[in-house]
Amino acid sequence: SQTIHQWPATLVQPVGSPLSLECTVEGTSNPNLYWYRQAAGRGLQLLFYSVGIGQISSEVPQNLSASRPQDRQFILSSKKLLLSDSGFYLCARNVGGGRGNEQFFGPGTRLTVL
């Protein structure tokens, strides 16, 4: 089966501290991977996507960055967190071909910046 793991599940960090969220995918090779953020009272917003190792595209300018060091690993980072970075971060992958690019999501990481 194809599974998405996200770590950690929850995180509380002070303003100005660094951040590293990890997403790993099982059961598929060369997936397209995505980072979304769901902020309180707001919808899901696409932050980054990657079509392969070392290939990162950003959707919106922000305090965050992403990296893809391995085919099945996608990392979201920040050097200095802001209060506005609080939210629920979701990693996703899509399935192409006959599945019509159906997108599947991981369990998410709840980030609270204090």
In terms of CB distance, is 80 or 112 closer to another protein?
Answer: 112
> Minimum distance from CB of 44 to another protein (Å)?
4
Q: Is the four-CA dihedral 68, 69, 70, 75 of positive or negative sign? A: negative
Which of the 8 DSSP states describes residue 106? -
Least separation, in Å, of the C-beta of 98 and another protein?
Answer: 10
Closest to another protein by CB, 86 or 110: 110
Closest among 26, 24, 74 to 53, alpha carbons compared: 74
How far is it, in rounded angstroms, from Cα 69 to Cα 9? 21
Nearer to another protein, 3 or 80 (CB): 3
Point out which residues bind another protein (CB under 8 A).
Answer: 6, 32, 34, 43-44, 46, 49, 51, 57, 59, 88, 90, 92, 94, 96, 99-108, 110
Task: Compute the distance between CA of residue 22 and CA of residue 41 in angstroms, rounded to an integer.
Answer: 25
